Amino acid sequence: MRINKFLAEQGVASRRGADEIVAEGRVTINGKTAKAGDNVQPSDSVALDGKLLSHKVKYEYYLLNKPKGCVCTVSDEKTERPRKTVMDFLPPNAGRVFPVGRLDYDTEGLLILTNDGDLSYRLTAPQSEIPKTYLVKVEGAVTPVQLNRLRSGVEIERGVVTKKCRVVVVDTDKSYTKLHVTLTEGKNHEIRRMFEVVGKPVTFLKRIKLGDLTLAGLDRGECRRLSQEEVFYLKNL
């Protein structure tokens, strides 16, 4: 097993985050500093910052209705005044898990947290094309021309065009429009940038579905364990 996958299964970080930890020289395998691409055998002693890690892993899966005003990281130590993170909403007995993907500081909604590195990779890998649905609110009306541009794909920066997506108006009056937008990719700030391109800055953004998994029964800031059926569903999306 690759060292980054091993660390991800320990709930230390995502695979990408694990690569960074290894590059910082914080991981040893049998007393020697680990390198990217190293493999871990069941008999190996692996330590992070001098603390031995167990090869036995108990996977945990949580669903959080993330409120805005917190960051999708395990900690926020890089700022002078650390902000609240999604970890603050987990139950006290939760194990070492990490967020699957990210929602912006001012974006709320559905977020999975787990120490299952394989599931995390599957849900975030571009080739998986997992559908994610968002509730989007903008000021004023959205014209048919603007809707067609969003659905067909827009250039959010030079040479970067979004994929075709599903955009449905769910509520509108003279002052605002609410839409459901379903994407199968996850570019940085993608929805906000898409709507800016067509001249309709987003005033509210919430992820409401991952595949067919929803936030039913969860208020803002509430968290619960996923059922076995839900975990099975996500693994087979």
Q: Is 104 tagged catalytic? A: yes
Kindly name the residue from 38, 49, 88, 104 that is annotated as catalytic.
104
Cα–Cα distance measured from residue 147 to residue 183, given in angstroms and rounded to the nearest whole number: 14
Residue 169's DSSP bridge partners are 179
What are the residues whose beta carbons fall under 8 Å from the beta carbon of 228, sequence distance 6 or more?
A: none
Question: Residues with catalytic annotation?
Answer: 104
